[in-house]
Amino acid sequence: MNRTAQVWLALGWIGYAVLPWHLTGGLLGDLFGDAGSGLGLGLSGRAWWLLPFVLPFALATLAALAPLGRDTKARLLVLAGAVGLVWFVLQGFAIGLNGWTAAWLAELFGAPGPRQGGMGFGAALAALALLMMLSQGLAAMGWCHGDAFVTATIGVVVALIAVFVFFPVLSILASAFRGDAGALSHEAFTQKFLDRSIWGLDCLASQLRCGVAWNTLFLAVLVGFGTTALGLAFALIATRTAFRYKGLLRVLTVLPIITPPFVIGLALILLFGRSGAVSALLTEWFGLPRSRWIYGLPGVLIAQLLAFTPIAFLVLIGVVQGISPSLEEASQTLRAKSWTTFRTISLPLMQPGLANAFLLGFVESMADFGNPLVLGGNFEVLSTKIFFAVVGAAHDQGRAAVLSIILLGFTLAAFWLQYAWLGKRVYTTVTGKGDAGVPPPLPRRVAWLSYAAALPWAAFTLVVYVIIIVGGFVRSMGRDYTPTLEHFLTGFRIETTPQGLYFAGSAWNSFSATLKVAAFAAPITAAVGLLTAYLLTRQNFAGRRLFEFGTMLSFAIPGTVVGVSYIIAFNVPPIEITGTAVILVMCFVFRNMPVAVRSGIATLSQIDKSLDEASLTLGARSFATVRRVILPLLRPAVVASLVYSFVRAMTAVSAVIFLVSAEYNLATTYIVGRVEAGEFGLAIAYSSVLIVVMLAAILAFQLIVGERRLGRRGTAAVPAPIGNVGVQAAG
């Protein structure tokens, strides 16, 4: 039994015998009271169902102390971990706050039955220790080639996805098959699923509207293609041209992703609405009548293109940088024209990035409800229908669940279409061989096409953000343009008192809570997402495709449904975290993790496996190989993951609008409240402050992580050796 397994065994005993098992009392609590340890509660008879946990920990202790063979110790560890985790799940879900959680248990053992609260520090540590001992035992038995790091990583990621993705989603989707009385009913599901308002095609033959499912699908396809094309244009300009203002261009591509919800839609209304600045100019100069064209498909499409193009850019810039110039130089040496080289060499090697960028834009469009809510008008999409089914007067949770299943179906179809397009072709361009090539200039037609697409869009983005910034410094946008700092002082006033500084502004509490939650969520999201990408691209294990789909599941469900599902799943034992910062952090981690996964997969698909194989051959363990070889080459994906997860935690609203509490009221819910109250100036002022803070955070992430260096001409290479293996990495 290795030292790692012994450490986890000791931690498991501490969690079971010392720390409080339930979420009551102090940190240690009364050993034999309601807040006592699992062992103390079991021995005292207050929670007899916790006493059987002695068996798995005793088996693991026997494996540690007894003079047994290696195989026997491994089997004991596996048995201890498996038995402990199974009993953990059974007792946790069978016994709740009011007794037995199932009617058949009450009939069998008598009502109401024993009661227990949510899982506490001790239970969480004990469960983690059991999982790690199971992983150590499986590795000792030869699973994953005996690599304990890989086995433990698979175990932890699978457990996290099961708890924070599948469990909440299944909790709410189960309501799709329940009738009005709460009983299971397939007829209720069929009736709601086949509703004409979802699948109707009346718009093809009349002036009536099409079903909401077709509206959503059409919009998502347009957004997927549009964001991918714009993201590729920005990435090509940033990496393959001598454009003088690349820094400004990068800022403009990142600005929309760091914008709080509703603000882009509000800015578009202030520009193109009936009383908007552009509408007024067109009427005054050209006599064009004012209209409401911005409300509907055009407005939602423009807003989503503004919001989601940065995601495609963040994914594609690393892919474009990773293309080996030697391949393009070889093509030109064989007298291929620059356009032929780009079409037959460069563009095909970008396929993983293009496919992932399209998939993310497609899924983001389907899950977005803020922009359709502000600009949708009569153009309904699934996300807004779900929102009103959850919070509207009807409060039809079953209908919301059915609409969520339809969204899942669309996402699953997009996922498999992407997989079929990429197939099993190889896109490796970063190998362990020397590559001193210089990227050739873009073909003239590609360069001009990129400029024609990106520069006007960048100018339009700049105009939108000028409106956003100006809106915080005038009394009332559209009516009174008198300069003022009133909105900023209302939210962020600081007063000097005899006791020191007093943060008197109404926005300080939500601002500090948001920073704390985002600072915790961002590194966890990046770590879990990139580890998941590593497992999907470098390891083969049963259920890998289902595992990959599980990582995209929470991304496909609208944020409102995710929030409601978290309330249903985590408002009662065994995991009772509603109203705490933990539920906000976990919600953000698993809502944003798919971007880290897809970005990591796109980058890892270009890195030759021979690099990590060489490190392993020379005696380095998997953890050292990941840390010293793979991670330096993953820097673009690391930056993309950190940036996206941090800013999404700062700007998300739909997933957390039901999860905030008085103690943890986030910035976005504060802004939504101001918008609903008509205080647009304060909402825009707060949004401007958030934008500045997030820009500073993005620059900090880029400075901390650094840039990937591939040892090509024009870059300074710093060797980072691993034994006798070296990669070119930024210092």
Name the DSSP class of 344. I
Q: Which amino acid is at 119?
A: M
pLDDT exceeds cutoff 50 at 719: no
Backbone angle region of 570, left / alpha / beta, with phi > 0 → left and psi within -120 to 50 → alpha = alpha
pLDDT exceeds cutoff 80 at 597: yes
- Using DSSP, how many helices (H) and how many strands (E) does the chain show? 34, 8
Higher-pLDDT residue of 243, 300? 300
CB atoms within 10 A of CB 348: 12
The three-state secondary structure class of 170 is: helix
Is pTM beyond 0.85? Reply is no
Q: Provide CB contacts within 8 A for 396, sequence distance 6+.
A: 389
Q: What percent of the chain has pLDDT over 70?
A: 89
pLDDT exceeds cutoff 60 at 431: no
Q: Provide CB contacts within 8 A for 660, sequence distance 6+.
A: 584, 666, 669
- Cα Rg for the chain, rounded, in angstroms? 28
Q: What is the pLDDT of residue 401?
A: 79
Report how far residue 312's alpha carbon sits from residue 457's, in angstroms, rounded to the nearest whole number: 14
Residue 575, φ and ψ in degrees, nearest 5: -115, 100
Report how far residue 474's alpha carbon sits from residue 581's, in angstroms, rounded to the nearest whole number: 35
- 495-503: long-range contacts, CB 8 A cutoff, minimum separation 24: none
Residue with tokens 């962020």: 492
Give me 371's structure tokens.
């922009």
Arithmetic mean of pLDDT, 701-724: 56
- H or E stretch at 4: helix 3-17
Closest Cα to residue 605, out of 435, 351, 326, 358? Answer: 351
Residue with tokens 């079971």: 16
DSSP H helical ranges for 423-480: 444-471
3-state helix, strand, coil in the chain (%, to 5): 70, 5, 25
Closest Cα to residue 172, out of 554, 574, 583, 593? Answer: 554
CB atoms within 10 A of CB 150: 24
Arithmetic mean of pLDDT, 310-326: 81
Per-residue pLDDT tens digits for 168-202:
888 877 777 776 655 566 777 888 888 888 888 87
- H or E stretch at 345: none
Residue with tokens 């999201």: 525
Please return the burial class of 112, using the count of CB atoms within 10 Å of its CB with bins 0-12, 13-18 and 19+. Answer: exposed
Supply the DSSP string of 469-537, one letter for each residue: HHHTSEEETTTEEEE--HHHHHHH-EEEETTEEEE-STTHHHHHHHHHHHHHHHHHHHHHHHHHHHHHH
- H or E stretch at 335: none
Per-residue pLDDT tens digits for 498-532:
877 888 888 999 999 999 999 999 999 999 998 88
Report how far residue 684's alpha carbon sits from residue 671's, in angstroms, rounded to the nearest whole number: 8
Closest Cα to residue 668, out of 588, 561, 570, 569? Answer: 588
pLDDT exceeds cutoff 60 at 713: no
Q: What percent of the chain has pLDDT over 90?
A: 22
pLDDT exceeds cutoff 70 at 724: no
pLDDT exceeds cutoff 90 at 709: no
Judge whether 4 and 137 are in contact, CB under 8 Å: no
Give the pLDDT band of residue 26 (cuts 50, 70, 90).
very low
Q: Max Cα separation, the chain?
A: 93
Give me 68's structure tokens.
């047994």
Please return the burial class of 444, using the count of CB atoms within 10 Å of its CB with bins 0-12, 13-18 and 19+. Answer: exposed
Give the pLDDT band of residue 674 (cuts 50, 70, 90).
confident
Residue with tokens 């892919």: 319
In order of their start, the domains of the chain are 3-141 (no CATH), 198-483 (1.10.3720.10)
Q: Provide CB contacts within 8 A for 142, sequence distance 6+.
A: none
Give the pLDDT band of residue 618 (cuts 50, 70, 90).
confident
Per-residue pLDDT tens digits for 371-415:
888 888 888 898 888 878 877 666 777 787 788 888 878 887 887
Give the pLDDT band of residue 74 (cuts 50, 70, 90).
very high
Report how far residue 444's alpha carbon sits from residue 337's, in angstroms, rounded to the nearest whole number: 11
pLDDT exceeds cutoff 70 at 246: yes
Closest Cα to residue 579, out of 658, 659, 514, 669? Answer: 659
Report how far residue 432's alpha carbon sits from residue 523's, in angstroms, rounded to the nearest whole number: 29
Alpha-carbon torsion (346, 348, 352, 358), positive or negative: positive
